[in-house]
Amino acid sequence: MARRFIVSDTDIKYLDENNIIIQGKEVKHIQVLRHNIDDEIIVNNGIYKIKEMKRESISLEYINKAEELGVPNSNLTLFVALLKNDKLDFVVQKAVELGVKNIVPFVSNNVIVKLDDKNRQKRVEKLNKIALEACKQCGRTDYVEVEDIIQFAKLKDKLKEKNRVLFAYECSKDSLKNELKEIKECNILDVGIIIGAEGGFTSKEADELKEIENVRCVSLGERILRAETAALSLISVVMYEMEEEL
């Protein structure tokens, strides 16, 4: 079976409907594995034949569509506050493994990490690298994007794009089970979840989130969870319920 490589869209140049050129880190990966001209490899969702190999790029000819593996049918987006470096790295890696399709980091009032524009870009690049490696490790054939870090005001706008959003809030008494039941009964497949910073949300921020029509404030139980624990717990439960019958 041909070996699979995941290449981001920014590293693919489309020459025509059957020929592409890839660049970036996967080029070196392919070369290290000693692939040669006329070898067949899988790039994202397509089977390709290697036509030309250069130091910084590889030319490929499309052969056929590859089998999709590990791609969730549901569309779960994780909106997660900018946690301290190792914690956010961990959450991104495990979120990809659990089936999240998109990750949106944001800055709220209690976020401790402070980044200027240059460091913010580097941080997002690193998180996307972690997401890519997690896709390959767990056998997913799709690509999970970590979007640019946004401010709380922009977060509220993005939440409105989802069919339903679950807001994990320690002060809530509303049942997560009831909300998941409604999501299943109504066959809602485009869902978001919100996880706050280590210090949680301010009461003002929480009130603003709860005022958004498609946001449902839910409890994760009586115990106060760390942000990274809350993220993985909620992702696991939501993915299980949304894809239980698959």
- pLDDT (tens place) for every residue of the chain, 246 residues total: 678 888 888 899 999 989 999 999 899 999 999 999 999 999 988 999 999 999 999 999 999 998 877 888 889 999 999 998 899 999 999 999 999 999 999 999 999 999 998 999 999 999 999 998 898 888 887 889 999 999 999 999 999 999 999 998 877 777 888 889 988 888 888 999 999 998 889 999 999 999 999 999 998 888 888 999 999 999 999 999 887 554
Give the integer Cα–Cα distance in Å for 220 and 171. Answer: 10
8 Å CB contact between 7 and 16: no
Produce one character per residue of 45-67: b if its CB has 16 or more CB atoms within 10 Å, e if not: bebbebeebeeeebbbeeeeebe
Give the integer Cα–Cα distance in Å for 57 and 232. Answer: 37
| pTM strictly above 0.85 | no
Could you tell me which CATH number the domain at 75-242 has? 3.40.1280.10
- Quote the pLDDT of residue 246: 41
Give the integer Cα–Cα distance in Å for 186 and 148. Answer: 31
Provide the CATH topology of domain 4-65.
Ribosomal Protein L25; Chain P (2.40.240)
Distance of CA 36 to the CA centre of its chain: 33
Burial class (CB in 10 A: 0-12, 13-18, 19+), 188: middle
Name residue 78's beta-bridge partners: 103, 193
